Chains A and B, each alone.
Chain A
């Protein structure tokens, strides 16, 4: 299927082109955006009507070959990534577009190939069905992401990049060791073939085999949790995301943690559903809840806008892990599992769009003010009304007010929490919403307060359009939730689909 090939190869080829061809990075990026959007618009209706599409690379079937599968989960995330990348790449032209008269700076040269490499790796992570192939995708993603943090070469950014690299390398090794143990036990790393072996079902497994499976799953989960910045592995996230230049922060915060989260979903819902235990599900949910509170409290205590947005990512990622207690394990067969599963994916999509919009807004304001300190934000609302609206609308999606995508997400998750009798997760959802309103109030109040003496550098309108469009997309996700809803249902793991009717 040509469209799947295009999703992976277009960004990768474009990245190589951007390295080779000087000063044309922005145009190459634009071409690949157009190509990927065409591929997605072919694939999405096809998958929504006919079900998942497989691509067996080179005709080599698993276990020897690698399968790429475009199912609802993969396409929903790839679509969100395409929207975010399009907005980021277009608005990065102001910062990293080559000027004809001056020599190319390092940022102008490096940003385009790195962003495109990252995009290619993301799409592989969403589509691939092979756990080792996913490892390679994660490594490519990490190296590109760390390089984007360090792109300006500033003291704090370099320290943040190195800290990120150290965390990520450890995460990769844990994942790799887990994958090696799984391969040793089962002779395959294909998600479909692993699922067919019913790993963990009481029937077949002997004592040591079962112990090795649990060990493998635990190592992979820990590694992926580090890369997703789940509490308590979140320490690297905020300095890295806040230290990167605004367009890079938008990609890092909106997209990069989602790749490892999708792999976690595939691991526990598709490959190894039989290994789940109530204790494990409660632990993952509990860490998620801790992330919601701890991230929000840290966001409340920051005095720089980008750090507030970055810590908000720590909190918002916490919600995603509520999928484990709400839809995992024995609750597969329950009617609420489908809602919880869809709600969590809506949450991830809505957070991606809103968070990218917020970081792009921060980028606009950094140009206008010169820094991102909250105290410098006075009077920004009247000076940059378009960006202010974008930030406000993105805030609506983040706090999960209706009619945003975030509201649809929280509504579905709340319904599942009450239906399953797990009221504790409902408390987390509601308190988390209040906390997010609290930490977003401070920058909003500051920007709306009057300051007649404030002077701001002019910001081109073209730079302000992209965040507004992204924020509106986060709202549209809630208003027009029917199409994404049915797409996400397509090819859902059988485990979560049983409870649908």
Chain B
């Protein structure tokens, strides 16, 4: 039977990989922020699993304290990022950075509308 700490560690690694893929592939800024959070959750899971590495009855409290601090930091950064994305969308009507090429924004499957290039707010100035 696989030890639970190992299972948590593997889940953490999977989340990091998944998030990294999303961060690289998605041009939509909000999706990138979500990908950032998925990677962050993976790292916290890995961090927590490492607290139980010695098979002790109780896990390492320092790791938990660090994780809680990390979650607060990630939350603040995400809130700030969302605010920035909203301000950017209001001014430009875009949800992706100008240098993202058209190729990146094509729908993954033909026929499906790609939400990642939808403009959420129209630029009032045109």
Contact = CB atoms under 8 A, between A and B. Distances in A.
B25 to A, nearest CB: 14
A252 to B, nearest CB: 16
A166 interface: yes
B84 interface: yes
Interface in A273-294: none
Interface of A, secondary structure class, is helix
Contact of A150 (B16, B66, B84): B84
A202 interface: no
Interface of B, secondary structure class, is helix
A169 B50 contact: no
Interface stretch (A154-162, A339-347, A462-470): A154-162
Interface string A165-184: 11001101100110011011
A498 interface: no
A189 B69 CA distance: 15
Given A64-B62, A136-B73, A159 B98 contact: yes
- B: interface residue count bin: 20 to 34
B46 A132 contact: no
Given A146-B80, A173-B39, A177-B43, A162 B92 contact: no
Contacts of A132: 66, 69
B121 interface: no
A198 interface: no
Interface residues of A, number: 33
Nearest to B48: A180
B76 interface: yes
Nearest to B9: A184
A170 B70 CA distance: 14
B66 A183 contact: yes
Given A155-B92, A180-B43, A183-B47, A146 B84 contact: yes
Nearest to B49: A184
A162 B29 CA distance: 8
A161 B39 CA distance: 21
Contacts of B43: 173, 176-177, 180
Given A136-B69, A139-B77, A177-B43, A161 B84 contact: yes
A177 B16 contact: yes
